[in-house]
Structure 1
Amino acid sequence: MGRGIRIAIVDDEKDMRQSISQWLALSGFETETYASAEDALKSIDAEFPGVIVSDIRMPGMDGMMFLKRLMGLDSSLPVIMITGHGDVPMAVEAMRIGAFDFLEKPFNPDRMTELAKRAAQNRRLTLDNRALRRELSDGSVIMKKLIGSSDEMERLREDILDLGQADNHVLIDGETGTGKTLVAHALHAVGPRASKKFVTMSCAAYSEEELAKRLFGPADDTDKLPLVEEARGGTLCLEDIEALPQALQARLLTFINEQGTPPETRIVAVSNLQEQGKTCEDVLRPDLFFRLAAMKITLPPLRNRGEDILTLFTRLGEQFAEEYGCDAPQVTAQEAAQLLQAPWPGNVRQLINVAERAVLQNRRGSGTIASLLMADNEETHPVMTTEGKPLKEYVEAFERMLIDNTMRRHKGSIVNVMEELCLPRRTLNEKMAKYGLSRSDYL
């Protein structure tokens, strides 16, 4: 439970900090101890990946001053305060300042573990959200998330770079699970509005009344601006645009028209319309549709992306293997063909689920990729495979994946790759050139 999360224990009493450290270490946490707040502050910063456990009464800088210094570094740092008998009023004040919780001596060690686990989970979520926000605001980073070398993905990346620089509103559509929200973030991150706000809301998540308040105001919470104001100067991303009621479509159109050209706030509308035989144009009022679809991006379904399927599966497998502390599954030629033939009705989102379950199966030493695909398609799609492809395409896709995986595993060592794949250097160089693989990508 505590794997990878650090606990900093700050107490001037050696026996106390050692006993807390031993107990939390038995619970799976990585612990570090400090005899004073001053020492702890030398090692703790705003990105500290863990939890602080501190006594309140200490010589020099006491726990309350220490807490204030920590909150100044990062108000989200989870700090558990340890109080003596009669210090409860001080502990309540600590909670007001920002402490995560407090324990009164003598405390139950199991209660300490429970609090540490909750605080650690809270910290992990905070840091993950920060990392995600940084990634989604960095154009170069987010573009790297659009993995794939197929013609479809090359065109998509070019469209994002071109349209990202433009001012017109954009409509993004495509099948479920193709990554439409990621593309919306990318459009914002590569454009001139990247330093401004990116505000997103699902039109399918609220009632019409609540949608009206959140979008146009007045909000129930007086501290909150309506989203059209919050996003001013930046990008307002409206997911599930097809669910926007007609009355609010009219208000959105008025907002767009009042902005003039170029618009101060860019609208990126994301359509997730799954109704058979209907498009976004069928459900939106025509004048609004044509304003939103001044520029349009349609994401390719995964089944049309060829070798990207194997590239994505491999990368996802490596990520989940690292997360679960085990080896990634090695894909056989037969499994590669099955991955390429699968219809992928859930697209990339479905591939992510299959890759994670394949890693868990591999950790247990049982199950096959084919069984995962069969189970998925029985639930979501009546057909096991898409239309067949020439054998040459399957062979080349598997060969590219094999060389890519081996180069990645050996960090670009040509000698090791030649030895493992039993290939002479010239043949390996020719195949890497054929498949667009460069040694520099693996170093």
Structure 2
Amino acid sequence: MPKAMKIAIVDDEQDMRQSISQWLALSGFDTETFPSAEDALKSLDAGYPGIVLSDIRMPGMDGMVFLKKLMSSDSALPVIMITGHGDVPMAVEAMRLGAFDFLEKPFNPDRMTQLAKKAADARRMTLENRALRRELGDGSTMMKKLIGASPVMTRLREDILDLGQADGHVLIDGETGTGKTLVAHALHAVGPRAGKPFIIQSCAAGDDLPARLFGPAAEGMPLPLVEQARGGTLCLEDIEALPAECQTRLLALMNDTVAGLETRIIAVSNLAQDGRTIEDCLRPDLFYRLAALRITLPPLRQRGEDILTLFTQYAEEFCDEYGCEAPQITAQEAAQLLQAPWPGNVRQLINLSERAVLQSRRGTGSIASLLMADNAEVGAEIGPAVTTEGKPLKEYVEAFERMLIDNTMRRHKGSIAAVMDELCLPRRTLNEKMAKYGLSRSNYLT
């Protein structure tokens, strides 16, 4: 159940405060009351996890001054003003100053509840967006999402840290489903622009793309994206679809000695599997400006045992979501996961993990059947012993062994004795294998 939204009720009349509080509490709100605006301001800050319902006419600081102070602290805080008969012009002025809406006395309690719920929905969305922006601006959080111990992933994280600090324009390419947008977020989060705007736009968005990107903005419409991203990062997905007109204007922006330095451009290309190159789609001068710093993401089939690590993590997340046990992977299924061509890369693996959890919950199906169904859709052939990237048998065995120990440690929450018993391993052998695979007991303790 979602947590009840807070609502601060500010009114100098005690009976009014109590009756409003009782009604809104019955409607599912977590209410708190204040006899004056001065008292309320001591508890209401920019991070207040709720909304405000305030009378306009109060002794001391009145509702209009109170509203102005709230808006200066957090312009997205929904404030519903209560006005007496004849004060409608004042309420309209309050709306101009940023009030969410107003109620005229005597008001219908159901109307008050309806407005409060609408304001709460708006506040919830604002707080969720802020939390997301904080997460996207946290470099350590973003880097943790780039899971994997394979050499190509280690190198990718190093490249992100280097190019993030370089702060120049970047071109990101790679096969579909490899996580290019995640890498764009990470580049922004680890660089000097972290905390500044990060704006994403697909260049395959339609005929209004030039106006959306560069303006002029129609009356009542949002600012052009280049203005919204000023000082931060503008991420252009599907850069190969950028119309010629926009390519010219984008290059002019990048060449502008003022505006070009204010906004970082990260271009994302999805041409890796189309038989074309990004050079074929962009004017040469724009391509070379973007590709001065370039990151090419590795396909999943080149990431070795990262495949098993990712499968295990996503399967656990889906098990939490569906309330069931994680499917147990056999050695043959682990080998099939490692041998699969993965044309859809990590995105395909996430989908397969969810389906594996669902069919395991029903007690039906197998990993092999899911892989064969996936590859049949794209015309790829795969059997129990087919591989696109030949590897020594030793690597498959070690990858499975690591996954098996990791899964068993997770299931037993770090209990060495339970893991020794289930896997029939002496303590010394288990310790040696955990050291070999970089597994630490402390990571499993809860």
Q: Which residue of 2 aligns with 1:107?
A: 108
**Counterpart check, 1:435 vs 2:437:** yes
Q: Given the superposition, is the C-alpha separation of residues 130 and 384 from structure 1 closer, same or farther in structure 2, using an over 3 Å criterion?
A: farther
- Report what 1:333 is aligned to: 329
After TM superposition, the score normalised by the length of structure 2 is 0.75
Kept in 1: contact 2:324–2:361 (CA 8 A):
no
Q: State whether structure 2 residue 156 is matched by structure 1 residue 159.
A: no
Match of 2:182 in 1: 182
**2:52 & 2:147 partners in 1: Cα distance?**
38
Which amino acid is 2:237 matched to? E
| Match among 374, 377, 380 for residue 377 of structure 1 | 374
Q: Please give the alpha-carbon distance, in whole angstroms, between the structure 2 residues aligned to 1:319 and 1:114.
A: 36
Do the aligned residues in 2 keep the contact of 1:5 with 1:49 (CA within 8 Å)?
Answer: no
Matched to 1:330, the amino acid is: A
Change (3 A) 1:55 1:393: farther
Specify the alignment match of 1:203 in structure 2: 203
Gaps of 5+ in 2: none
String of CA shifts for 1:86-122, please: whole Å, max 9, x gaps.
665554444333333345555354x555544443332
CA–CA distance in 1 between the matches of 2:354 and 2:123? 24
Give per-residue Cα distances to partners, 1:236-274, cap 9 Å, x unaligned. 4322111122344344445555659x9775432211237
- Change in Cα spacing, 1:348 to 1:378, as seen in structure 2 (3 Å) is closer
Query: CA distance change for structure 1 residues 342 and 168 in 2, over 3 Å: closer, same or farther?
Result: same
Q: Is the 8 A contact 1:169 1:295 kept in 2?
A: yes
1:20 shift after superposition: 2.2
Aligned counterpart, 1:129: 129
Q: How many pairs does the alignment contain?
A: 430
Q: Distance in 1 between matches of 2:46 and 2:192?
A: 29
Please report how far the alpha carbon of residue 160 of structure 1 lies from its aligned counterpart in structure 2 after TM superposition: 1.5
CA separation of 1:407 and 1:113: change in aligned 2, threshold 3 A: farther
Q: 1:84 to 1:258 in 2, by over 3 A?
A: closer
Relative to structure 2, which stretch is displaced further, 221-230 or 300-309? 221-230
Tell me how far apart the structure 2 counterparts of residues 229 and 68 of structure 1 sit (CA, whole Å).
27
Decide whether the 8 Å contact of 2:316 with 2:326 is kept in 1: no
Once the two structures are TM-superposed, the CA of residue 225 in structure 1 deviates from its matched residue by: 7.0
**Counterpart in the other structure of 2:35:** 36
Tell me, what secondary structure is at the counterpart of 2:236? strand
Partners of 1:9 and 1:17 within 8 A in 2: no
Percentage of matched positions with identical amino acids: 66
| CA distance in 1: counterparts of 2:301 and 2:141, whole angstroms | 25
TM-score between both structures, scaled by the size of structure 1: 0.76
User: CA–CA distance in 2 between the matches of 1:68 and 1:369?
Assistant: 62
CA contact (8 A) 1:203 1:244 kept: yes
Q: Is the 8 A contact 1:172 1:297 kept in 2?
A: yes
Aligned counterparts of 2:117 and 2:372: Cα–Cα separation in 1: 35
Q: Aligned equivalents of 1:116 and 1:368: distance in 2?
A: 47
CA contact (8 A) 1:338 1:370 kept: no
What secondary structure does 1:306 align onto?
coil
- Structure 1: gaps spanning 5 or more residues: none
Q: 1:333, 1:398 within 8 Å by CA — same for their partners in 2? A: no
Deviation at 1:328, TM superposition (A): 5.7
| Post-superposition offset of 1:144 | 1.6
Cα distance in structure 2, aligned partners of 1:62 and 1:419: 71
What's the CA shift string for 1:317-338, capped at 9, x where partnerless?
555666x5x6364121146566
